A and B are shown apart, each in its own frame.
Chain A
Amino acid sequence: MDYLDELEAEAIYILREVAGQFEKPALLFSGGKDSITIVHLALKAFRPGKFPFPLVHIDTGHNFEETITYRDEMIARIGEKLIVGHVQDDIDAGNAIEQKGKNASRNQLQTVTLLNTIAKHKFDACIGGARRDEEKARAKERIFSVRDEFGQWDPKRQRPELWNLYNGKIHTGENVRVFPISNWTELDVWNYIRRENIPLPTIYFAHEREVITRGGQYMAASPFLNLDEDDLIERKNVRFRTVGDMTCTAAVESNAHHIDDIINEISASRVSERGARMDDKVSEAAMEDRKKGGYF
């Protein structure tokens, strides 16, 4: 089997295990290429039937407009159910407090809204697009990752995963995060998107945009960034390698207008994709701490 067929077959298998083992699963949809890929895999796993789960989007309110446009068009195209959890609602209700200062971001606050949304809908499994190659702490992540009722990940409590037998048994209040594309690399995802002709939000491709430089990286100028007099707004040709909250997703200079160009750029650049996320630069153990706190 070709490696993309093998990765695809494994992911479909995992999605069907979720359908078979859980009462109320959900697919967490961020609008990024990884979750877009999972939606495509779900089509392959369940069509001509309906998905046995809704899509859930945790909306920070600091979105790239292109992401929301893409999301709504996609939902209309596939005809599946979408549930949106708004970080703004949790801020308004006092469940979360907006960060202050120059590098303020709502990325951390997503965790609160995610956990509240899971609790409200009583989801027992949440499918996500994380991959083991993204970051060291993820390298040990299971395909089925059990979280306690506080969403916490305990590296010592993880279950051994033998063969392709995924143990989804949980106690009330617990839930499982499921990662069907754990074994894919960033390049695999791109090659698969090309092979399957999956449409993507336009911000993945090179475009001219106003940016400012923060910590040696380009950030999209937007009303959500707290600017001061040192910040210089420039126009650059950029694209984004990941899609998240506008305040913490950095752009790279690029002339890649076609997916082939992107694949060439990634193969050549050899900077990991998380290298383009401000939130992971904070400390080497940043991701691990956030995972323990219930973030993906």
Chain B
Amino acid sequence: MNILKLLTAGSVDDGKSTLIGRLLYDSEAILIDQLEALQRSNRKNDDGTIDLAILTDGLKAEREQGITIDVAYKYFQTEKRKFIIADTPGHIQYTRNMVTGASNSNLAIILVDARKGVIEQTIRHTFLVSLLGLPQVVVAVNKMDMVDFDEKVFDTIVADYKKLAAKVGLENVAYIPVSALKGDNIVFESKRTPWYKGSSLLAHLETVEIPVDTQSEHARFPVQWIIRPQTDELHDYRGYAGRVSSGSFRVNDKVTVLPSGFSSTISQIELYDQEPALATAGMSVTLHLADEIDISRGDILVSAENTPHVSKQIETDLCWMDTRALDTTQTYFLQHNSRITRCRIQEILYKFNINTLEKAYDEDFKLNDIGRIIIKTADALAFDFYQDNNANGGAILIDARTNVTVGALMFRANAE
């Protein structure tokens, strides 16, 4: 059994909370005391049934204001898979929250209201999903009960969305007609959509493939920590602790250490009391090298066959996440893997109008703005392009005055 991390995207009132609530409720993932709390609550639907949306509401302030303000994570499992849902509700800070949720997901469910079809928000959500490079997308056409489960309505929306998907380059898209409120095609296949031949949302989520990049030539291992016991019996022990971010490593593989450029071979792979022959993407292990090389936290071990770019000047997409606008006169911290360095914004190339997908030329980067810039870093970074390797192509910007995370970077080209 493995884990699928997913994200729901839609505008306010499209039914995201109801959809997640329905998934949990119908797959019997709600615990009895939570259910009782739910029944005690005085929020009910018009027809007197319990409002499933409450299940995903979190903080008191939100309950009082009746809105959700952040990313909340929900957990459930079936016999086939474990699921982690990032719930990123829609409102002003939406882009920021959705980008955060998407960066931690393998799949996005994009909700479309059957009555409204593909609208500006749908374009925005689809753009963000493609920007973050999510491998799988589900378009859930919701509120089908309000259009009499009409096949034509569904077909029109699918046709419209396909054009959009082609425009932004989304490949793996599944389309499902649902009613989150009534439960059609969420966990159980609906009798009211006889024309729909696909599986229910849950059945799809249980079986959809989660691609993992384990090719040896994509081997990347950011060093987090050096294990040096310095005891009598382990006098010369020197292990590099970290997590394989992509690809795979085997004993005897030739590796290069970046940014220094030294080469060596892997002499041993350790995982506590085990010595696996192979360390693949996602595994936290300790690597040993045949040669004594000066390596510290922030360095990265990579396949000697296929080394990433090493540069101090990078063309990158930026999603700005702070209420204070980007200040090109400031130095920011940049965190890429286990390395933190200082950086400056050298040039703003353009911004995306995420509602029309057109490029705009303006100098201001405010909360939720997305665009293309060139950054200059103090230390060289060893990176891949985000589109080739998400794990080694993303970074965050930190405001050096407030220490707050203010931007997400997706490296797109070497600008050196």
Q: Are A20 and B224 in contact (CB under 8 A)?
A: yes
**A271 and B224 contact, Cβ closer than 8 Å, known pairs A162-B100, A163-B394, A167-B398:** no
- Is A251's beta carbon under 8 Å from chain B? no
| Contact partners of A121 in chain B: CB under 8 A | none
Interface set, chain B 101-130, CB cutoff 8 A to A? 103-104
Interface set, chain A 121-179, CB cutoff 8 A to B? 132-133, 136-137, 139-140, 155-156, 158-165, 167, 169-171
| Contact partners of B229 in chain A: CB under 8 A | 48-50
- Is B404's beta carbon under 8 Å from chain A? yes
B408: nearest chain-A partner, CB-CB: A162
Q: How far is the CA of A6 from the CA of B239 in the complex (A)?
A: 21
Q: Are B405 and A288 in contact (CB under 8 A)?
A: no
Q: How far is the CA of A137 from the CA of B59 in the complex (A)?
A: 6
| Contact partners of B239 in chain A: CB under 8 A | 49
Q: Are A49 and B228 in contact (CB under 8 A)?
A: yes
Q: Which of A7, A160, A161, A288 has the most CB of B within 10 A?
A: A160
Q: How far is the CA of A46 from the CA of B224 in the complex (A)?
A: 11
Q: Which of B32, B390, B396 has the most CB of A within 10 A?
A: B396
> How far is the CB of B91 from the nearest CB of chain A, in Å?
14
From A8, A162, A185, B99 is in contact (CB under 8 Å) with: A162
Stretch with Cβ within 8 A of B (4 or more), from A10-18, A54-62, A66-74: A10-18
Q: How far is the CA of A161 from the CA of B338 in the complex (A)?
A: 15
Q: How far is the CA of A182 from the CA of B73 in the complex (A)?
A: 10
From B33, B212, B297, B335, A167 is in contact (CB under 8 Å) with: B335
Q: Are A44 and B33 in contact (CB under 8 A)?
A: no
Q: Are A158 and B75 in contact (CB under 8 A)?
A: no
Q: Are A163 and B104 in contact (CB under 8 A)?
A: yes
Q: Are A285 and B60 in contact (CB under 8 A)?
A: yes
Interface size class of A (residues with CB under 8 A): 35 or more
| Contact partners of B28 in chain A: CB under 8 A | 270
| Contact partners of B338 in chain A: CB under 8 A | 17, 20
> How far is the CB of B299 from the nearest CB of chain A, in Å?
12
Q: How far is the CA of A275 from the CA of B96 in the complex (A)?
A: 34
Q: How far is the CA of A2 from the CA of B1 in the complex (A)?
A: 6
Q: Are B394 and A165 in contact (CB under 8 A)?
A: yes
- Is A203's beta carbon under 8 Å from chain B? no
| Contact partners of A19 in chain B: CB under 8 A | 224-225
Q: Are A1 and B282 in contact (CB under 8 A)?
A: yes
Q: How far is the CA of A1 from the CA of B333 in the complex (A)?
A: 33
- Is B283's beta carbon under 8 Å from chain A? yes
- Is A26's beta carbon under 8 Å from chain B? no
Interface set, chain A 202-260, CB cutoff 8 A to B? none
| Contact partners of A162 in chain B: CB under 8 A | 99-100, 103-104, 394, 396, 405, 408
Interface set, chain A 1-51, CB cutoff 8 A to B? 1-3, 5-10, 12-13, 16-17, 19-20, 43-50
> How far is the CB of B56 from the nearest CB of chain A, in Å?
8
From A16, A20, A183, A285, B84 is in contact (CB under 8 Å) with: A183
From A13, A47, A188, A272, B272 is in contact (CB under 8 Å) with: A47
Q: How far is the CA of A171 from the CA of B400 in the complex (A)?
A: 10
| Contact partners of A159 in chain B: CB under 8 A | 404-405
From A132, A137, A163, A271, B32 is in contact (CB under 8 Å) with: A271
Stretch with Cβ within 8 A of A (4 or more), from B8-16, B64-72, B175-183, B342-350: B64-72
- Is B255's beta carbon under 8 Å from chain A? no
From B69, B82, B284, A156 is in contact (CB under 8 Å) with: B69
Q: Are B103 and A288 in contact (CB under 8 A)?
A: no
- Is A284's beta carbon under 8 Å from chain B? yes
- Is B241's beta carbon under 8 Å from chain A? yes
- Is B61's beta carbon under 8 Å from chain A? yes
**A9 and B284 contact, Cβ closer than 8 Å, known pairs A46-B227, A167-B403:** yes
A274: nearest chain-B partner, CB-CB: B33
- Is B58's beta carbon under 8 Å from chain A? yes
| Contact partners of A285 in chain B: CB under 8 A | 60, 63
Can you list 15 A-B contacts (CB < 8 A)?
A1-B2, A2-B2, A16-B242, A20-B224, A20-B338, A52-B225, A136-B58, A136-B59, A155-B69, A163-B103, A163-B394, A165-B336, A167-B398, A171-B403, A272-B34
List 14 extra interface pairs beyond A2-B1, A48-B237, A167-B405, CB under 8 A: A1-B280, A13-B284, A44-B271, A49-B239, A133-B75, A136-B57, A136-B58, A155-B61, A160-B96, A160-B408, A161-B405, A163-B391, A165-B394, A167-B403
